[in-house]
Amino acid sequence: MIITGEREIRLVSWNETHFHQLYPMANNPKIAMNLKDSYPQPYTIHDARHWIEHNQKFNPPQNFAVEFEGKLAGSIGSERGKDELRTNMELGFWIGEPYWGKGIATEAVKLYTKFIFEKFDIERIFAQVYDFNGQSMNVLEKAGYFPEAILKKAFIKNSTVGDIFQYVNIRGEQ
């Protein structure tokens, strides 16, 4: 599946063409610092293989490669809540360092949000951002998300405890 946006930004189902671009770009501590600890670091060739294979089973897809000018620039996806939280999806995204500051993440989040509300019977998409990641907060706000909560002292990363800022986009409130 391919979702096309402006300025040569596309969301593309993960496939073999992304393999050799993924692991060197994803193996960046600056990216891992802003993501959950489940994100592998170092990010190896085996992690890339597993990620691509894992995502090929979803229909419709939930996770996409973000491409810019025909090259892999990052990743965006979500995980659906379970049981009584099934009306929620938690959004996650990252952009490779060579592509930072180009507006790619904002466009990707806009495209992805529209896709999710069209394809899934959910009511809300939320994203959690560590307090030191102002860039992602800006991306979410520019993409139509609004601050919902601050979870005080909710994470520990590199031995530092901090706050999580939660952003949300609710169906029909855009």
Residue 7 lies in a domain: yes
CATH of the domain at 71: 3.40.630.30
At residue 83, φ and ψ (nearest 5 deg) are 55, -125
Return left, alpha or beta for 97; rule: phi > 0 is left, psi -120 to 50 is alpha, else beta: alpha
**Residue 162 forms part of a structural domain:** no
Range of the domain at 6: 2-123
Whether residue 116 lies inside any domain: the answer is yes
Q: Is residue 145 part of a domain?
A: no
Domain assignment present for 85: yes
Provide the domain count of the chain: 1
| 3-class secondary structure, 58 | coil
Per residue in 16-71, pLDDT (tens digit) is: 999 999 999 999 999 999 999 999 999 999 999 999 999 988 888 899 999 999 99
* β-strands 124-130, 88-95 pairing: parallel
Please report whether residue 63 resides in a domain: yes
Q: What is the DSSP letter of 96?
A: -
**Has residue 168 been placed in a domain?**
no
Residues found in the chain = 174
Q: What confidence tens digit (pLDDT) does each residue in 126-171 have?
A: 999 999 999 999 999 999 999 999 999 999 998 999 999 999 999 9
- Residues 78-121: pLDDT tens digits? 999 999 999 999 999 999 999 999 999 999 999 999 999 999 99
Residue 119 lies in a domain: yes
Cα–Cα distance, 50 to 54 (Å, whole number): 6
